[in-house]
Amino acid sequence: MYIIKDTEIKGYGVFTSKSFDKGETVLVGKIIEELESNHSHASQVAIDRFVFHNDIVRMVNHSCEPNCGIRVNESGAHDFIAIKNIDIDEEITFDYAMRNYSVEHFDHQCNCSSKECRGKITGWKDLPQNKKDEYVSWVAPYLIEIDSLQLQD
Ligand SMILES: [Zn+2]
């Protein structure tokens, strides 16, 4: 179903072996390990819960202009859903800010090479408001919860 390829600038990436229409599920997430705290490959699935997803989901690279967003599935894991039409042999990407409130493990420059690149991989808390508005239906729900809690302060 998927092809792992060396992207040269970002290490390995996950590429499609078929096309997807907007709204289709591209990858199904499965939680394989609970973690004590945040980690560079951890997924944050609640305000204080960090997990590892299955390998294929873990290998998906960040983009500041991604083709996938996140939806929580019945098991509580994150599926990747196409937020635009995706061609065959296209790299599957999502924005790490859709999943993690803060990203502190990536000091280096972002290599996504999209037109909208923010220059650095950031978490949800550092996203500009227009990006939050664009992503709002495609992010881990706890991120929206944190924002609404802070509005009440
Ligand atoms: Zn970028």
Instruction: Read off the pLDDT of residues 6-55 as tens digits, 9 standing for 90 and up.
Output: 987 888 999 999 999 999 999 999 999 999 887 777 888 888 889 999 98
What's the mean pLDDT in 91-103?
Answer: 93
Distance 121 CA to ligand 1 centre (A): 6
Find the 114 Cα to ligand 1 centroid distance in Å: 6
Q: Return the amino acid letter for 48.
A: D
pTM of the model: 0.90
Contacts of 107 (CB under 8 A, 6+ apart): none
Enumerate the domain spans of the chain: 2-152
Indicate if the pLDDT at residue 88 is higher than 90: yes
- What is the C-alpha to C-alpha distance for residues 41 and 58, in angstroms, rounded to an integer? 7
* Architecture of the domain delimited by 2-152: Beta Complex (2.170)
